[in-house]
Amino acid sequence: MVGPAVLPTDSPHEDVEELCPCGRSAEGRGELMRRFHLHLVSDATGETCITIARAAAAQFQGVDAVEHLWSLVRTESQLRRVLAHVEAEPGVVMFTLVDPQLQVLLHEECRRIEVPCIPLLDTAISALSAFLGIESRNQPGRQHVMDEAYLKRIEAMNYALAHDDGHSPASLREADIVLVGVSRTSKTPTCFYLANRGLKAANVPMVPGCPLPPELPALKGALVVGLTCHPEHLIDIRRSRMRMIGDVGETAYVDPLQVEKEVRQARRLFAEAAWPVIDVTDRSIEETAAAILQLHDRRA
């Protein structure tokens, strides 16, 4: 069933006049173009739409896109319901529809109501078709088929779950990648990001007074990566975590001297083991994972 997922959810209807009205002239848009409706229309899950749209919007400072995600749009009646919402809250339409008839309808109606309509896959599909000399299938959701790669990702997800936070060290030898680091260096989310790429990723925490599992130094096939972080940044993250769980006391976990000692010892161990090291202080999860994937590809 088609329905909107609007972010942020606290944008009331009466604030619409603050949004950029599409029919306004360019010189009139200058100061008003701060918040705008962004309609993402997809015949599948909409993940491609979201990723591309957010990457594009991120290039504009001070712009807040109010997202409306319309997924699994595969019939004319569904698309017309979406178009009614677009007309009620005009902005920009980006879409990943492969059905030619739905594309034509969307383009025509967007032209009628004077909103920009941007196809996100057409250029790539056309270029591939010209290069390969064959027509595309125009089949929705082809990237989500349950093929061997999909099953490999599921297996990798299960592995990451079973080997989170140092669990099941006996089967670390099955890992493609093992992340080692002190607490709150983004080991767990990075492992799940890597698992979504089909790689079996485990993580091992470095806890003061607790030895690392003996299986770790003996690993042959896995890429072991040390994750580190600037002590001050690490303390901020740990304090935030403690507040989330209702613990506001001062402990060794956030003591500056203790944290600095943890980081220093971790770096020493990484150097002794000759493991590559990634500083996650100013990196997003995606950036950390990208650096790890580069290291993994070089070993392949």
Answer yes or no: do 84 and 219 share one domain. no
All residue ranges of the chain with pLDDT < 50 are: 1-31
Note the Cα 110 to chain centre separation in Å: 29
Residues 115 and 206 in one domain: no
- How does DSSP classify residue 258? H
Determine the pLDDT at residue 178.
Answer: 98
SS3 167: coil
Total number of domains in the chain: 2
Together in a domain, 107 and 10 = yes
Q: What is the pLDDT of residue 84?
A: 98
Q: Other C-beta atoms within 10 Å of 173: how many?
A: 13
User: Which residue, 90, 110, 142, sits at the end of a domain?
Assistant: 142
Q: Considering the domain boundaries, does residue 176 fall inside one?
A: yes
| pLDDT at position 137 | 79
Name the token pair of 152: 């490999």
pLDDT for 143: 67
**Looking at residue 75, which CATH number applies to its domain?**
3.40.50.2300
**Residue 104 located in a structural domain:** yes
Q: What is the DSSP string of 3-29?
A: ---EESTT--GGGGGGBPPTTS-HHHH
Q: Is the pTM of this model over 0.95?
A: no
Position 172 in a domain: yes
Residue-wise pLDDT for 163-212, tens only, equals: 999 999 999 999 999 999 999 999 999 999 999 999 999 999 999 999 99
**Residue 108: what pLDDT?**
98
Phi-psi region of 219 (alpha: psi -120 to 50; beta: other; left: phi over 0): beta
| Boundary of a domain, candidates 93, 119, 142 | 142
Hey, which bits of the chain come out as E strands?
A: 6-7, 35-42, 64-70, 91-96, 117-119, 177-182, 201-206, 223-228, 277-279
pLDDT value for 7 = 34
Query: Is the residue at 1 inside a domain?
Result: no
Regarding whether 181 and 273 lie in a shared domain, the answer is yes
**pLDDT at site 284:** 95
Helix (H, G, I), strand (E, B) or coil at 104: helix
Q: Would you state the pLDDT for residue 2?
A: 40
Q: pLDDT at position 6, please?
A: 36
Among 83, 107, 142, the domain-final residue is 142
Is the CB of residue 169 less than 8 Å from the CB of residue 264?
no
51: containing domain: 6-142
Looking at the structure, do residues 228 and 267 belong to the same domain, yes or no? yes
In this structure, the answer to whether residues 281 and 153 fall within a common structural domain is: yes
Cis peptide before 256 (omega within 30 of 0): no
pLDDT at 148: 83
